Every structure is written in structure tokens, then in C-alpha cells.
Amino acid sequence: MLLLQTFIGFLDSAQGDYEQVRQFTRQRDPNIEMLSFYQVEQRAKEFSGIITWEHHMCVDSCVGFTGPFADLEHCPDCGKSRYVQKDLDESDGERKVPRKVFTTFPVGPQLQARWKHPEMAKKMHYRWEKTQDLQWECEESNEAPDIYDDILSGQAYRDAVEDAPINEYDTVLMLSIDGAQLHRNKKSDCWIYIWIIVDLGPDERYKIRNILPGGIIPGPERPKNLDSFLFPGLAHVSALQREGLPIWDAHARMSAISYLFLLLILADAVAMAGLSGSVGHHGRKGC
């Protein structure tokens, strides 16, 4: 636990700072065994619930080789090869090396990790408690809520609760995607999408520690077929919508099944055009 706390304390610092502390500790007492930065990083990943999937993509970011493109060896848009070279491998004969990959962070394990923490599990009950209060208020007044202090007060969510019952342990998510400029004076270097947990209160929902990574699409070219890059993450969500996600509520100390519900997809004008299939803001008829 001490190693993990030390690692977390150095998350905003350079890797060398952790290694320096490790070296000083060993000099102080050679009997103290501290894991390397890589080793403790792997331990942190195991405890955090964050796992990654890597998928091949076109070198020019045209498509991700997923779904209907999974078996292609050349990009269906630009025709460039999927693989950079072929190496001999004694185990399976021939190994194909992709020219470029993108990363997906499945949301299920991340949600499970949050439910395993007693304090966080208690906070995850906000949506259900708020929903109960809203239903009681609407039944008493026979009208819409007087105060709209959260997205849960909106008609869209309240209709969804009635049409497709969203129960106490179900999870309501929002997806947000945008380009990220990693270097100054350059165009967007990559595109990132995240998951926002609506089950948390507004004071917790948008904090960095509660924003779940969804996927990273490297640039510098803009992804042309955005659906192919979102496919692994959305297919995972679709499976959990059908089969449910087993969770352990560490606050109530009980197990449950959580079904996922996607409430909204958020994006700017450029990204929304790619998501909706419209021509975008440069088109003659942008809508």
C-alpha cells in the first residue's frame, strides 16, 4: 500500500523523481525492497480496474480496423497497407506488425472498481436518490419539477426512467469526444473520448478523478470514419446493456447487476458532424 501511495503521489511528477526516492530509500536501508516504477505501475493498473484494448488503424486515420473492417489488410478509403512489415516468429510462423494502433479503455471494469470503494459506492447512489425525490415531487404537484438543478430534472431523463425502467444499480452515462492539442502551435494531435457518470452528483461528476477514459485516437490527421474508432467501446457498452455488469456495493455490502444506459453524446460542431454523419459546418446546409 505504501508503494502505491508513493506512486500516486508522484503522478504529476517525472518518472525519475520516483526512481530517485526509490534509490534514496534503498541507500537508507538495503533491506527495504521497493518495486520499480514499471512494476508499481502494473500493480496500480490491477487495482484501478483500468485495462486497455489496442486495435489497428489506418496510418492516415481514415478508419479503425474494427467491425466490418476487422479483416481488411488495406484501408478501404485510401488503400494504404494495414501492416508495416512481416516478421518471422517461431511460435506462430508469421507475425504482422500494424503501422498504427488506437487504444480503448472499456468502461465496465472502471465502474466495478468504483463500486468496490465504500465512499465512492455511497456517492454512486446519488442518481437513484435524486430520481426518487423527483418522482415524489411530480406526483405530489402533478407538474414538472419547479427547480431544474441537474440534468436528472430534465424531461428526457424522466421519460427514459418511465419508458425503460432505470433501476437503483443501473448506470447512466454520457459520452464526450473532442480533439486534443498536445503541442503548442500545432493542430489537434489526437482525439479523446471520455465517459461521464451521471449517477454521481453534479459536485463530483465532472472532477478529473471521476472522468472515465474511453479511448484515444492518435493523429495528427482527423479520423474520417469515427464510428469505426468508437466501435469497440460502444460494443462493450452494448453487451453490458444486454447482459448486465456484476458489481459489489462496498457501502451496502451486497452484490448487484448494473445495466448501462447512454443518456447523451456530447461533442463540438466538428466532432458532432462525424458522429451524426452530417456534412458539418463547412457544408452548404450544415444541418
The one-letter amino acid code at 253 reads: R
Q: What is the dihedral of CA 53, 222, 241, 262, to 10 degrees?
A: 140
Can you tell me the distance from the alpha carbon of 191 to that of 249, in angstroms, rounded to the nearest whole number? 33
Contact (Cβ atoms closer than 8 angstroms) between residue 110 and residue 49 = yes
Can you give the pLDDT at residue 88? 45
Those residues of the chain that have pLDDT short of 70 are 1-15, 47-49, 85-94, 183-188, 280-282, 284-287
Q: What is the pLDDT of residue 227?
A: 93
Written as one letter, the residue type at 2 is: L
pTM: 0.80
- The distance in angstroms from the start CA to the end CA of the chain is 53
pLDDT at 10: 60
Q: Which three cell numbers stand for residue 117?
A: 470503494
Say if CB 171 and CB 258 are below 8 A apart: yes
Give residue limits of the domains in the chain.
2-48, 102-125+168-276
